[in-house]
A and B are shown apart, each in its own frame.
Chain A
Amino acid sequence: MSDVNIVERGRTLVVNPLVTCQPLGAMFATLGIHRGLPLVHGSQGCNTFVRYAFNRHFREPAEIAVTSLHEDAAVFGGRSNLISGIKNLSKRFRPDLIGVVTTCSSEIIGDDVDGFMKMAHKELVEEIGEEKANKTKLVHISTPSFVEHHFRGYGNAVKAFVNTLAEEPTESNDKLNIIAGMVNPGDIREIKHMLGLMGTEAIMLSDTSDPFDSPLRPSTTESMPFYPKGGTRVEEIADSSNSLGTISLPFYGDDAANYLEKKYDVSAKIGPMPIGVQNTDEFVRNVTKLTGLEASEELLDERGLLIDSMADLCSRYLFGRKVAIYGDPALVMGMARFVCEMGMIPSFVCTGVENPEFVEEMKKVGKESEGPVEVMPGSDLRALEVRLEEEPVDLVIGNSEGRLITRDLGIPLVRVGFPVYDRAGYHRVPIVGYNGSVNLIDRITNMVMEKYYDEQHWKLQQ
């Protein structure tokens, strides 16, 4: 058991932020719907810069529309922009779903988004007929940029999907709803793989795997507009009320899970992000509790492979090393626990989010740690940089945003999470589940070897 010290940022200014505003998360979740398009009700920068962010990380297109609010809308309201935006988007793209994502400006102007959406639908029925108009589901996702962060925006979007689309339950579909959080395509595929080994299937809320990692096959690409294959179908979301249960891997997906539990009696389990042995075990136990299915031999073998590589690598290279971890709070929570399982010390755990869940989890992690843990909620990269200058660590784990500070400090950076734009393929390689944890331990150990052992290597050292 080690000390857990909680440190506040202690200044109003934010330098090198670790979070962005809600709309980004909502756009991400909406792109995980099959033929789903986000329509941002705000200025043109609100979609453009987010598209850049997705392009950089996934190296994939990201189609996000905008209502292009301008000065007149700020004075007279965004009514005509939103109505004609929905109509134009429906007619040209024929999407299955439009996620109307609000922003700071549209929230402050106080647009009656629901009312405008109804009006747009009514006009569409008149113009293209009821059948065509009904094909496009409209979902209002309220994401004021000045409240909380993009993780909450993701949670709000998933909540809006089930709230708008889930239908009265009929009979059980023997599936599980999974809210995976702001993770990579590789992670979602790994979750599906694990559920497959246990003999069940998931309704992913939403499935961002194929849309953000899609094949280049020009001859089979739809004529246009370009919709990637995959994504969760609208019917699947409608069916989510018939599932055996909902597991939200990150705590910020709790709203949707709790909604389905309250309204349709679909049991909810919140957390943990299945990174490392114990968290993945807990995920498997949760699946068992909800479905009655047991962990298969293959899955236990995968667990064994993870334990095997930990046994091979941890004592020699990793034990006792100090680590700083930053980024997505759910990811940091999982990583910190895994780091302890490897005998390393999560000396600094830092996130841009101020949530009690994060602090509570870190208190638990402190009990499993070999050394003191400094918890930095609601923080930024500048705060971490200052602490690392004072007390250097052996290794930093986080996204690409820390590349300059770790370069200046001379500490190796193991890249995980979003965004990673200065390395290739990180969106494809899972870090969740037993297999993902093997990838992580390899990635961490290779970085440690390169930095601390290459000089003294000889042939027989294993």
Chain B
Amino acid sequence: MKNSSKKFNGFESLKSSDKESLELKSIKLPQNDDLIITEVPDSIIKTLESRIGHMCVKKDESDEVGPTCNMASVPGAVTQRSCVYGGARVVLMPITDAIHLVHGPIGCASCTWDIRGSRSSGEDLYKKGFSTNLQEKDIVFGGEKKLFDTIIELNGIYNPAAIFVYSTCVVGLIGDDLKSVCRETGKITKCRIIHVQSEGFRSFNKSLGHQLACDAMLDQLIGTGKPGLDEKSAVSTKKNIPTLNIVGEFNVAGDLWAIQPLIEKMDITVQSTITGDSCVEQIANAHRADLNIVQCQKSSNYLARQMEQKYSIPHLKVNFFGIEDTAKSLLLIADFFQDQHPEIREIVDKIIETEINKVRSEISHYKTRLTGKRVAVYVGGNKAWSLIRAFEELGMKVIMTGTQNGLPEDYRRIMGTVSEGTLVVDDANSMELAKLIKKYHPDLIVSGAKEKYMAHKLGIPFCDFNHDRISSFASFQGFINFAKEVDRAVSSPVWKLTSKYYQGIVKNE
């Protein structure tokens, strides 16, 4: 069932009555004047002129232009960015029954194996670290032979569903022909050997790595599956049951397991998830779905757009973080299937009614404690905007947000979501972050592990929203976890004890 008559995209395509009924009118944001940032402070950008444009403050409703972005980082900065290889690896790594072989020096594999909190319901092959361990002589004579032998060896030991072969900086420099080695070994092993051209230095923006990972799936995996090869893809061949792919959901801390049941409750079959808790064969059959819903729009919009062109599968931009956005996402999906399956809307209405009431009553305790608190968000990908509403639902105000790898379109979304007087920062380095934290002293910082301990040293509570977190934040139940986690961070008694006052008590001052 391809629905091409309507143009679907994001929440804007929802009926306005639906949108209004979901607005959380009860939320009063703190209006205190000192919470409003009016200018980018001089002290932050004092020494590097080139950084000035990378920060801006939203002045009024019409302010849509974000900071300068998508530029190479200043050399010598303690950048929070990563490399193209890292970008490709995070997208593909959650594929559970595949081997992820890193063709390069040992470090590229050593530092990245099993670092993503993507959970699996079955296989754990993806958690192992595989490397060709390139040595000096390989640099001189080329590493193709070694790669060839390694793939044959690997296939013999593990008999995997696929082997993803990642290129690294070194491989780009010495010019190994990954593609032909993968093709040759594929013929010999009869295994899917998929090359990913992710040389680390190819771009300053790891988003290119996301795209290259998507390209590898699009060109070498999606569309190669035969129907009925495994149980899950057999379902999709049954007539009249709507199917979809959940794209850009990586099952960090089990997020997918909170989203998938909702979809299934709507009598929609999940054809595949790309790539959280997925199997190779499912993704190979992803082209059979009726619809793609895209959760991480940073990494996976590209894949959805390409699938739309190639297989005419429409896509919807969804967001399962936050109560309101989860509800809107479900409505959006129901709308899409309205013509053929009008019954879905009823189910969705029911889900929303029961779940929202349940969540609101469960979070009211936390909301009382958190209302009026100020948050600084510095994260990768779509979280820079999708988290903002989620915090507002807890009565908290985001005073600062930013991302390492934002593109102009990302910042337009961010500017559209934040309220006036919010500071928006692109590619902040650790020093700028620290200075901003010291100046504005937010009640909470939300970021990844690299920033966690710096925040703590400055006496500010911290909440993980990255690969490192341990509870699922997605969908309705996830929002309760999220509220709990935020409260745990903000309300921990330890932050009182760090104050000057308490240190004074020790010295009997």
B47 touches A92 (CB 8 A): yes
Q: Which residue in A47, A49, A104, A226 is a CB contact (below 8 Å) of B112? A: A49
Q: Is the CB of A11 within 8 A of B131?
A: no
Q: Is B106 an interface residue (CB 8 A)?
A: yes
- Complex contact B83–A218 (CB within 8 A): no
Question: Which of B104, B169, B170 neighbours the largest number of chain A CB atoms within 10 Å of its CB?
Answer: B169
Using a CB-CB cutoff of 8 Å, which residues 191-222 of chain A contact chain B? 214, 216-219, 221
Asked if A218 contacts B458 (CB within 8 A), the reply is: yes
Whole-angstrom distance between the Cβ of A386 and the nearest chain B Cβ: 10
Best-surrounded residue of A11, A45, A69 (most CB of chain B within 10 A): A45
Counting CB contacts under 8 A, is B434 at the interface? yes
Using CB atoms, name the residue of chain A closest to B449: A55
Tell me the smallest distance from the CB of A103 to a CB of chain B, in Å.
8
In the assembled complex, the CB of B130 is this many whole angstroms from the nearest CB of chain A, namely: 6
**Known contacts being A68-B75, A70-B72, is A149 close to B106, with CB within 8 Å?**
yes
Q: Which one of B133, B201, B202 has the greatest number of beta carbons of chain A within 10 Å?
A: B201
The 8 Å CB contact of B172, one of A19, A74, A93, is: A74
Q: A402 CA to B439 CA in the complex, in Å? A: 43
- Of the candidate stretches A59-67, A258-266, A281-289, A337-345, the one touching chain B is A59-67
Which residues of B169-186 have CB atoms within 8 Å of chain A's CB atoms?
169-170, 172-174
Distance of A89 Cα from B48 Cα, bound (Å) = 11
Quick check: B105 and A217 within 8 Å, CB to CB? Answer: no
Across the interface, do A12 and B153 meet the contact criterion of CB distance under 8 Å? yes
Q: Are A221 and B77 in contact (CB under 8 A)?
A: no
CB-CB contacts below 8 Å: B152-194 with A: 153-154, 168-170, 172-174
Whether the Cβ atoms of B78 and A55 lie closer than 8 Å is no
How many A residues face the partner with a CB closer than 8 A? 78
- Cross-chain contact A70 with B204 (CB below 8 angstroms): yes
Residues A216 and B110 in contact in the complex (CB < 8 Å), given A12-B153, A15-B128, A146-B134: no
Specify which chain B residues have a CB less than 8 angstroms from the CB of A65 in the assembled complex: 76-79
Determine, out of A80-88, A240-248, A303-311, the stretch whose residues face the partner at the interface: A80-88
Q: For window 75-98 of chain B, which residues contact chain A by CB distance below 8 Å?
A: 75-86
A106 to B127, CA, bound (A): 30
> B75 — which chain A residues lie within 8 A by C-beta?
66-68, 80-82, 84-85, 88
Known: A49-B82, A52-B450, A218-B459. Contact between A44 and B73, CB under 8 A?
yes
Q: Is A20 an interface residue (CB 8 A)?
A: yes
Question: Is B130's CB under 8 angstroms from A14's CB?
Answer: yes
- Would A104 and B129 count as touching, CB distance under 8 A? no
Chain B CB within 8 A of A404 CB:
yes
Per-position contact with B for A1-26: 1 when CB-CB < 8 Å, else 0?
A: 00000000001111111011111100
Q: Which residue of B lies closest to A23 (CB)?
A: B107
Residues of B contacting A39 with CB < 8 Å?
76
Closest CB in chain B relative to A413 CB, distance in Å:
15
User: Which one, B81, B133, B170, B431, contacts A92 given CB within 8 A?
Assistant: B431
Q: Which residues of B contact A86 (CB under 8 A)?
A: 76
What is the CA–CA distance of A319 and B425 in the complex, to the nearest angstrom?
60
Q: Which residues of B contact A91 (CB under 8 A)?
A: 47
Chain B residues lying within 8 Å of A60, measured Cβ to Cβ, are: 453
Given A61-B453, A225-B434, also A13-B139 (CB < 8 A): no
The total number of A-B Cβ pairs within 8 Å is: 240
With A70-B203, A71-B203, A214-B457: A104-B105 Cβ-Cβ less than 8 Å = yes
Q: How many residues of B contact A (CB 8 A)?
A: 77
- Name the distance in Å between A317's Cβ and chain B's nearest Cβ: 32
- Nearest A residue to B138 by beta-carbon distance? A146
**Minimum CB distance partner of A59 in chain B:** B453
- Are B150 and A12 in contact, with the CB atoms below 8 A? yes
B115: chain A residues at CB < 8 Å are 49, 52
Asked if B496 lies at the interface with its beta carbon under 8 angstroms from chain A, I say no
User: In the bound complex, do residue B169 and residue A224 qualify as a contact, i.e. CB atoms below 8 Å apart?
Assistant: no
CB pair A104 B170 closer than 8 Å:
yes
Q: Which residues of B contact A92 (CB under 8 A)?
A: 47-48, 76, 431
Q: Compute how far the CA of A47 lies from the CA of B153 in the bound complex, rounded to whole angstroms.
A: 31
* B456 in contact (CB, < 8 A): yes
What's the Cα separation between A458 and B109 when bound, in Å? 48
B153→A70 contact, CB < 8 A: no
Q: Is A267 an interface residue (CB 8 A)?
A: no
Within 8 A of B (CB), among A39-59: 39, 42-53, 55-56, 59
Q: Which residues of B contact A87 (CB under 8 A)?
A: 76
A116 to chain B, nearest CB (A): 11
Q: How far is the CB of A61 from chain B (nearest CB, A)?
A: 4
Is A88 touching B110 in the complex (CB atoms < 8 A)? no
Q: How many Å lie between the Cα of A104 and that of B124 in the bound state?
A: 30
Q: Shortest Cβ distance from A4 into chain B, in angstroms? A: 26
A105 interface hit (Cβ, 8 Å): yes
Given known contacts A17-B110, A223-B438, is B79 in contact with A44 (CB within 8 Å)? yes
- Residues from chain B with a CB closer than 8 A to the CB of A73 are 201
Whether B204 contacts A68 by the Cβ 8 Å rule is yes
Q: How far is the CA of A55 from the CA of B449 in the complex (A)?
A: 7
Given known pairs A15-B129, A21-B106, the reply for A226 and B457 (CB within 8 Å) is: yes
Q: Give B313 Cβ to nearest chain A Cβ, in Å.
A: 33
Residue of A nearest to B460 (CB): A218
> Is A409 close to B, CB under 8 A?
no
Cβ–Cβ contact B131 & A49, under 8 A: no
Q: Closest A-chain residue to B504, C-beta based?
A: A219
B124 in contact with A17 (CB, 8 Å): no
Do A45 and B434 have beta carbons less than 8 Å apart? Answer: no
**Known contacts A15-B129, A43-B201, A61-B454: does B76 contact A89 (CB below 8 Å)?**
yes
B457 engages A218 (CB within 8 Å): yes
The CA of A52 and the CA of B115, in the complex, are separated in Å by 9
Is there an interface contact between A108 and B107, defined as CB atoms closer than 8 Å? no
In the complex, per-residue mask of A252-279: 1 if CB is within 8 Å of any chain B CB, else 0:
0000000000000000000000000000
With known contacts A12-B132, A65-B78, A108-B139, A55–B453 Cβ distance under 8 A = yes
- Say if the beta carbon of B74 comes within 8 Å of chain A: yes
Known contacts A16-B129, A45-B85, A88-B77; A105/B72 CB under 8 A: no
Q: Which of B73, B106, B136 contacts A68 (CB 8 A)?
A: B73
Contact (Cβ within 8 A) A71 B201: yes
Q: Are A13 and B129 in contact (CB under 8 A)?
A: no
Tell me the nearest residue of chain A to B168, going by C-beta: A104
Given contacts A55-B449, A84-B75, A219-B503, contact A13 B107 (CB under 8 A): no
A449 at the interface (CB under 8 A from B): no
Distance between B54 CB and nearest chain A CB, rounded to angstroms: 14
- Distance between Cα atoms of A62 and B449 in the complex (Å): 11
Is B146 interfacial (CB-CB < 8 Å)?
A: yes
Contact at B136–A146, with CB atoms within 8 Å? yes
Q: Which residues of B lie under 8 Å from residue A15 when comparing CB positions? A: 128-130
Query: Could you say which of B81, B431, B449, B500 contacts A44, with CB atoms under 8 Å apart?
Result: B81
From A43, A49, A109, name the one whose CB has the most chain B CB atoms within 10 angstroms: A43
B138 → A minimal CB distance (Å): 7
Q: Is B257 an interface residue (CB 8 A)?
A: no
For the complex, is A231 an interface residue (Cβ under 8 Å from B)? no
Could you say which residues of chain A place their CB within 8 Å of the CB of B79? 44, 47-48, 65-66, 68
A14 touches B106 (CB 8 A): yes
A144 at the interface (CB under 8 A from B): yes
The yes or no answer to B341 lying at the interface (CB within 8 A) is no
Q: How far is the CA of A109 from the CA of B201 in the complex (A)?
A: 12
Q: Which of A48, A74, A84 contacts B76 (CB 8 A)?
A: A84
Which chain B residues lie closer than 8 Å to A44 at the CB level? Answer: 73, 79, 81-83, 86, 200, 204, 206
A23 contact set on B, CB distance < 8 A: 107
**Smallest CB separation, A409 vs chain B (Å):** 14
Establish whether residues A147 and B135, one from each chain, have CB atoms under 8 Å apart when the complex forms.
yes
Given contacts A74-B172, A108-B139, are A224 and B76 in contact (CB under 8 A)?
A: no
Q: Does A145 contact B (CB under 8 A)?
A: yes
- Cross-chain pairs A/B with CB under 8 angstroms, 9 sampled: A14-B131, A17-B106, A44-B73, A51-B450, A68-B204, A74-B169, A103-B169, A226-B430, A404-B124
Residues of B within 8 A of A (CB): 47-48, 72-86, 104-115, 124, 127-136, 138-139, 146, 149-150, 153-154, 168-170, 172-174, 200-204, 206, 430-431, 434-435, 438, 449-450, 452-454, 456-459, 498-500, 503
